[in-house]
Amino acid sequence: MERRVVITECSAITPIGHGKDEIVRHLVEGISGVKKIRKDDLLSGFIDCGVFGTVDYPLDYDFKRQHRKTMGPVSYYACQVAKEVLKNSGLNHDFITSGRLGVAFGSTHGSPSVQRGIYKSFFSKSRSSFSKIGAVDYLKSMVHTTAANITKMFGITGRVFSSSTACTTSSQSIGFGSEMVKYGMQDAMLCGGADEYDTTTVAVFDNLLACSTEFNDTPHLTPRPFDEQRDGLVVGEGAGAVLLEEYEFAKKRGANILGEVIGFSCNNNGGDLILPNMDGITETIHLIQIQSRRNKPLFHHIKGDNRLYGTA
């Protein structure tokens, strides 16, 4: 019998709020979290895009030094939402550390703010500056820093993987995480993604002509996908996490089932990395139709810039 995958818990830190209730309320009220980009001494003067999805409210982290020491800003976000999800899930410590729970969590490129410091030292051509690169700097900055820190903080011993696919990082985490549960490799997966505030991320997408630039003086009006005046994406910070569980396992323990992942598909154009072609999009839709056994799939994620990533 095919294993079903259900969503039983979620949390997020976003520019429009922290936690499901606040985020939904602000969505309904039309509150934007996009602000003017902060001036920095490196890139902000050269970037056409002048906006950033900003988390500008205080967050009360309560992490022990043993956990903080390997965390850059991106991992603070990731570990906080992971902590909230696990706490609210009711899963006990024995299960969390049993190897039956895995983690699929990523970020665009780890912690760019920590990477800045590392590369500054590399290019200083100074032995003493080079020596100041600490043992923890790589652990704070690496691409899989969010997943690694989550496993460390909660003693999770199951499978771990960390996607790093820019805008689709979290979707891919959820999709591949659902396959882990569906095919019996894990009974539950903690899935999601995080990113921190840094202008290097904006600069990269700005140079690809992907960023919004027409609303620099009215940041609350962008991004606006599917709108006639849409002019590109807005880079933001924050984190989101969901807990996926095998249906029977979740039902047996009385978990609150929020939804079900009935299929997942992704593929590749095999060509242009920036502008997807219709063949790739069509094939993804075809695959998700087969997966979900539906003629008209409900797409979790249709990106406003024509990229499609299907989790039904």
Q: Which residues bind other proteins (CB under 8 A)?
A: 65-66, 69-70, 131-132, 134-136, 139
Look at residues 244, 290, 245, 296 and name the one whose alpha carbon lies nearest to residue 265.
Answer: 290
Nearest alpha-carbon partner for 292 in 273, 272, 264, 271: 264
Give min distance, CB of 160 to other proteins, in A: 18
90/134 with CB nearer other proteins: 134
Cα–Cα dist 297/285, whole Å: 8
Least distance (Å) from other proteins to the CB of residue 135?
3
Cα separation, 299 vs 288, in Å, equals 9
Q: How many CB atoms lie within 10 A of CB 180?
A: 22
Handedness of CA 277, 279, 280, 281 (dihedral sign): positive
- Residue (70 or 170) nearer to other proteins, CB: 70
Residue nearer to other proteins on the CB measure, 131 or 295: 131
Q: Which two tokens stand for residue 119?
A: 């590369």
Q: How far is the CB of 112 from other proteins (least distance, A)?
A: 21
Q: How far is the CB of 76 from other proteins (least distance, A)?
A: 17
Q: How far is the CB of 8 from other proteins (least distance, A)?
A: 31
Tell me how far apart the alpha carbons of residues 119 and 25 are, in angstroms, rounded to a whole number.
41
Query: 146 or 170: whose CB is closer to other proteins?
Result: 146
Q: What is the DSSP letter of 269?
A: -
Nearer to other proteins by Cβ, of 70 and 173: the residue is: 70
The three-state secondary structure class of 242 is strand
